[in-house]
Amino acid sequence: MSETAFLTAPAQQFIIDMTAVGAPARADGPRILYEVVAVGGALNGQTVTTGVSVSEVQSWPMVPPHWIHLPDSITFTETNIDEVDCQPGWKRHSREYSNNDTSVPPALSWLRHVRGFISVATPKAA
């Protein structure tokens, strides 16, 4: 059985919706991971794997996630972080978000939010 067989209907819908807007998503334990292409900043043009906790999409699409999972190598000038549901070498970043624009699908709005956040990222100093 696939890992998605164990997900709730809202978590499965998040995966379906993200895939439909061009960010193929997949379950990875307590996370849902997907790739986005950075559209600005230090990571412009790079494909970045990101994700959300499965527990945060239990009311999708009515309530969007709050935390954005990213590899440790991506940092921000200002952010609140923790490691809940993160794989080794990852952190999740707290980001306020509300889907006020009902003219676009919720997943597209979320994808734009994540891309915007990544555009202010800085690669971690080596």
Q: How far is CA 52 from the centre of its chain?
A: 5
- The pTM of the full predicted model, rounded to 2 decimals, is 0.90
Task: List the chain domain ranges.
Answer: 3-123
pLDDT in tens, 67-115: 999 999 999 988 999 999 999 999 999 988 877 788 999 999 999 999 9
pLDDT in tens, 14-73: 999 999 999 999 999 999 999 999 999 999 999 999 999 999 999 999 999 999 999 999
What number of residues does the chain have?
A: 126
Smallest Cα–Cα separation from 59: which of 96, 93, 13, 23?
A: 13
Q: How far apart are CA 120 and CA 126, in angstroms?
A: 18
Task: Give the Cβ contact number of residue 17 at 10 Å.
Answer: 20
Place of tokens 């950075």: 38
